[in-house]
Structure 1
């Protein structure tokens, strides 16, 4: 998960909800035991670089008593579609006691997830965005054909999720809106049946500092992007006197795409997943260093005729020195007797000069005399 500014998340009483991790995700229960309300705040990216469906489902199960109302509040640019589908189904299983709340933005996978709630309330100044699935990959033409088929199948899953929330929606119109990447206002979402009620507007940072991520969409509203670029006003009641500098916002999708492309160019596409794991997509500098390290590690493994270990060593974050030592141990223990030596020759090493054998005139004359029966060769005397 990239390092971003932690947002202010408030419950009904206006008390600050402290989020302990960097994914802007929290659960809380308020009220007496017999009047308990469970609130889940999904304020961040959905999936491997943010709030995973596994984390969401496990935490919800641990807090849910089977009878209390559950409110799932969303403010997310989206993320992994399959995690969004899993969240959708987790909320749907709660039945009528589940309410989805769009506090600012439910885009992409987040719009799929929130539609799993029995009732959806969208703030008057909030938005919902629906669009076709997209992905990135590297491979040959056949690989791309297979991925296109998968994208078509996942589009059907998206349509089914929206129709589960709005069974009377016109499917032809719904598919047109999804294909066009449509940004819906609160009233438009209610008119389509994807939300049930327009609630009071709330002041929440639109995308929680994820403006760089929002830029990947084609039709993001200009006013929404402008709001992201506006500096946030400090709150003297909640800000400490010495506030540390805000770390730069990192677009994890852009960094993942960089890893995929660079690995394809270097012929090490098998190291994409290990690099995603080892770099954690924390910054462009870390990713660049990881790519350099992965290439060096792969070259060492290939030179040692042990390429099958490259993914393991890259995932572990090992550098060239550590990899060379491990490969040496494996080679010695296998009895192959092969050693990797990447050292450069010393500057004072003088190459050996080949010494030509000097001719022996006496031995040459003796050989010629023997060839003529012991008589001297008189061929030269014919011209005397």
Structure 2
């Protein structure tokens, strides 16, 4: 469970999302008015770099008629604890209408979120993962003591969320399982009371878009890690149907494309990315340039959220996509060990704060002043 800033990145699709190496977030209502069912797919990280509670609650409220059954399907490595808690409480308020379904994995904050549903169904081949909250911090001893206290309080919130779903669970055993980072099968989750039913198994890649995080956990099952190395089959893009297509715009020459990049970057406040964009796109055509501009803005947002804005130029120049940037930032933030979390606040500005340096002593000035003082003292004594 992570403490993360409030940047949102998510994709919406028509119909049930296909399982790919991406974040998917989709809500839909199906059936006639008297047999309507609302389905929500939370496939990806919860919080900053995935599906925020704010977006989830607003979208669900816009679709909910107050009477239809609601099914919320999860395939998530977790993310921001507080977003997970907000989703947990939103599902809890729906009462008996709400069913939480784990299609592949509900780990960390996602396990907290799904336990807010009145009824939880875990697929035969799916898992829940529960563990202690993580974060990282910097500062003095008192600052770090405050962080440790906050983590202790966060743990109590997590325990309360699980006990709300499984009131008869042995609390000592629950705390032991949480502290040990425990991966629960569907049947183990039912036995503990964190799930109500074992559902039919479905072949789903387990959060491959979050492979870097999966590998950082201490006890990730080998079966899930093995899936990370399996090649994914290419998915043919679906061309949108346009009823009244507009005439194809003429191809712009390289000078106009360079001007487009320059103007767009200046307007978006990313003028430092002009040269990397020109180099990476090679000014091939307008579609390439527009796609690169959109991706550059997303990369800039990710770097600012991670408090590493200086990395944006490097990543754009290298032609990385947002998934690769998230992985790079992840490794930059935590190195080879420790947690994977970043601070739960947005930076005040994108420029690194310049450290205030004390004025260095000027030896010659000090010597001159001392000599003058001694001379003045001698004159006074003679007077």
Same fold flag (TM > 0.5): yes
Q: Report the counterpart of residue 87 of structure 1 in structure 2.
A: 87
Contact kept in structure 2, 1:98 and 1:118, CA below 8 Å: yes
Q: What is the alpha-carbon distance in structure 2 between the residues aligned to residue 56 and residue 235 of structure 1?
A: 27
**TM norm structure 1:** 0.62
Please show how residues 89-168 of structure 1 align to structure 2 within 5 Å: 89-168=89-168
Deviation at 1:255, TM superposition (A): 2.2
Which structure has the higher relative contact order (CA within 8 Å, separation 6+)? 2
Distance (Å, rounded) in 2 between the aligned partners of 1:170 and 1:109: 21
Counterpart for residue 265 of structure 1: none
| Shift, 1:141, TM fit | 0.8
For 1:76 and 1:204, how far apart are their aligned partners in 2? Answer: 12
| Correspondence for 1:217 | 217
Q: Is the 8 A contact 2:16 2:26 kept in 1?
A: no
User: Structure 1 CA distance, aligned partners of 2:18 and 2:233?
Assistant: 19
After TM superposition, which residue ranges in structure 1, 4 or more long, deviate above 2 angstroms?
Answer: 1-4, 15-19, 233-236, 244-261, 272-275
- 3-state secondary structure, aligned to 2:66: coil
* Distance (Å, rounded) in 2 between the aligned partners of 1:54 and 1:41: 15
Residue 245 of structure 2 aligns with which residue?
Answer: none
Q: Distance in 2 between matches of 1:133 and 1:158?
A: 8
- The answer to whether structure 1 residue 250 and structure 2 residue 324 are counterparts is yes
1:30 aligns with 2:30: yes
TM-score of the aligned structures, taking structure 2 as reference length = 0.62
Q: Deviations over 1:57-98 (max 9, x none)?
A: 011111000000000000000000010000000000000010
State the shift of 1:208 in Å: 3.5
CA distance in 1, matches of 2:112, 2:185: 16
For residues 162 and 253 of structure 1, what CA distance do their matches in structure 2 show? 30
Residue in structure 1 matched with residue 373 of structure 2 by the alignment: none
Q: How far has the Cα of 1:23 moved from its partner?
A: 3.9
Rounded to whole Å, the distance in 2 between the matches of 1:101 and 1:41 is 9
Measure the CA separation in 1 of the matches of 2:80 and 2:46: 6
Does residue 274 in structure 1 map to residue 347 in structure 2?
A: yes
**2-side partners of 1:91 and 1:255: how far apart?**
32
CA 1:234 to 1:252, structure 2 compared with 1: closer, same or farther past 3 Å?
closer
Deviations 1:255-284 (A, max 9, x none): 2684699xxxxxxx99x8328x85xxxxxx
RMSD: 3.4
Contact 2:8 2:48 in 1 (8 A): no
Number of matched pairs: 265
Counterpart contact for 2:131–2:180, Cα < 8 Å: yes
Question: In the TM superposition, what is the alpha-carbon distance from 1:34 to its structure 2 partner?
Answer: 1.0
Query: What displacement does 1:32 show?
Result: 0.5
How many Å apart are 1:136 and its aligned residue?
1.0
Structure 1's 209 and 23: CA in aligned 2 closer, same or farther, altered over 3 A? closer
Task: Provide structure 2 residue ranges, at least 5 long, that are not aligned to the other structure.
Answer: 1-6, 240-290, 292-318, 336-341, 358-383
Deviations 1:119-147 (A, max 9, x none): 00001000000000010111111111001
Q: Secondary structure at the match of 1:106?
A: strand
Q: Closer, same or farther in 2 for the Cα pair 1:255/1:91, shift >3 Å?
A: same
CA distance in 1, matches of 2:151, 2:222: 28
Q: 1:248 to 1:150 in 2, by over 3 A?
A: closer
Which residue of structure 1 lines up, in the alignment, with residue 72 of structure 2? 72
